[in-house]
A and B are shown apart, each in its own frame.
Chain A
């Protein structure tokens, strides 16, 4: 158990819909990262937050947005969903000072029909 909690574990929805994925980082970790894992793209970095502020942005679509709340949990919002958004979405957290190792949650598997 990495200590990172993600909900829901599975989600099935239709094209055009909107979903919210939730992540609670490990106790004491200030950084939260979101990654998307699809079959053809591998693990792609989406966005990072540190103590409530956006720190880095990767290949995140404009239809996607994220935020980190004062209690450090984070949400990834996916809107106007398309079939190609079907993927495993990971949240990860990192200690303030360490090797840079990320601790991953179990992921949220999104299926868009």
Chain B
């Protein structure tokens, strides 16, 4: 079974500084995908960034970048120039494929609550 571990229940960062949210994963698959989602207090799940296991470059989307270290099985999210609106829960997820029926789903970590201080 695949597993996602987020070891930081909560993180604090000063506005305009960068912050790294940790994520490690466990899989025996050669092909997999890693995702980060943001969940503000309003509750919706917002997709931030994706990294494929065969992608050679680290993914970037605006102020978000994914520090992908395949050998260490880590996929940390880096948020640069933090803003007050970045305060939210952040979830790391991995695409899990089923051998039967070709289905796939996302398996989520427990999340990290980020607080950006003014």
Interface residues of A (CB under 8 A from B): 2, 33, 42-43, 45, 48, 50, 55-56, 58, 88, 90, 92, 99-107, 109
Q: What is the total number of residues of chain B having a CB less than 8 Å from a CB of chain A? A: 24
Interface residues of B (CB under 8 A from A): 33, 35, 37, 42-47, 50, 52, 91, 95, 98, 101, 103-111
Residues on A with C-beta less than 8 A from B107 are: 45
Task: Tell me what chain A mostly uses at the interface: helix, strand, loop, or mixed.
Answer: strand
With the chains together, A103 CA to B48 CA distance in Å?
11
Nearest Cβ on chain B to A38's Cβ, whole angstroms: 12
The count of A-to-B residue pairs whose CB atoms sit within 8 angstroms is: 56
With the chains together, A50 CA to B110 CA distance in Å?
27
Residues on A with C-beta less than 8 A from B110 are: 42
Which residue of the partner chain, among B35, B91, B105, B111, contacts A101 with CB atoms under 8 Å?
Answer: B35
Given contacts A42-B111, A43-B108, A45-B106, A55 and B43 within 8 Å (CB-CB):
no
In contact, A109 and B43 (Cβ under 8 angstroms)? yes
